[in-house]
Amino acid sequence: MSSVQHTAPVHSAHSTGEPLWLQRILIAIALIFVTLFLVLPLAAVFTEALRKGHEAFFSSFQEPDALAAIKLTLLITAISVPLNLVFGVCAAWAIAKFEFRGKALLTTLVDLPFSVSPVVAGLIYVLVFGAQGWFGPWLQANDIKIIFAVPGMVLATVFVTFPFVARELIPLMQAQGNEEEQAAMVLGASGWQIFWRVTLPNIKWGLLYGVILCNARAMGEFGAVSVVSGHIRGQTNTMPLHVEILYNEYQSVAAFSVASLLALLALVTLVIKSVVEWKQQRLMAELATLSPERPVRVTTSLK
């Protein structure tokens, strides 16, 4: 009687075939690059912001223009992110779950902001809604302000940030397939029940990841917002625009103080992003260990 022994593959440090010295060189190059282009500039921002002490640092945020810039940045982000969340979910659901004429065109349009310069995007809105634009005379006649006002800044921010949610969800929903939705439909679930109880739980971590990226880009957007804002201090200046004005006026401590707040928000976003990535990887690992014969869970969730 013979027995077959199965041995697990052994993964060593040299499993890829590269010599140890080459691995160390590559790691050293990566560390040097990260230090020179990420760590040192970030440290310089906080160092320059605190150069004249904590009192000068905190007093920079007590200026009316700084407070107005912070509030406006949060307002634009609070409007843009939910709009892109709704659009991203709808676009991803349509592209991943259905076949229809114009699907390739919709996918291309989703990627459009990645290929168009933010400055060009801002100019497009100026040409459309500006005083000499297509709708400019009508807007002026009805006393509606879009360019050099908050609505134009929101439109520009929405344009440059709307691919992030959709691009995170499309491959995830395509990989998951339609089996669970079809099973729920057979069981008599409505469209909203399928979305809330089947689709949304499956995409929640990818959705949160896309929202985090969208939020980070919305807070730090400069090019498109700069074109449509008009740089009106205390009214249409976001935090990045306020940093530029302070730096051009040689108020370096105030400029780097506001910049440090943006950097701090970016670090917080990075931490949240890492946690979400860890949660998503853990979920995918758990799904990979499930037996193929395990029943679909929608039979219980729809009750």
pLDDT by residue (tens digit) across 194-240? 888 888 888 888 888 899 889 989 998 998 999 999 888 888 999 99
* Per-residue pLDDT at 83 exceeds 90: yes
* Tens digits of residue pLDDT in 159-205: 999 899 999 899 888 888 888 888 888 888 887 888 888 888 888 88
Taking the CA atoms of residue 155, residue 160, residue 163 and residue 165 in that order, the dihedral angle to the nearest 10 degrees is -70
Q: How far apart are CA 297 and CA 21, in angstroms?
A: 50
Here the tokens at position 18 are: 């590269």
194 contacts 181 by C-beta, under 8 angstroms: yes
* Tens digits of residue pLDDT in 96-110: 888 888 888 888 888
Q: How far apart are CA 279 and CA 142, in angstroms?
A: 50
Query: What's the CA angle centered on 129, arms 211 and 160, to 5 degrees?
Result: 20
Rg of the chain on CA atoms, in Å: 25
Signed CA dihedral, 293, 297, 302, 303: sign only: positive
pTM: 0.79
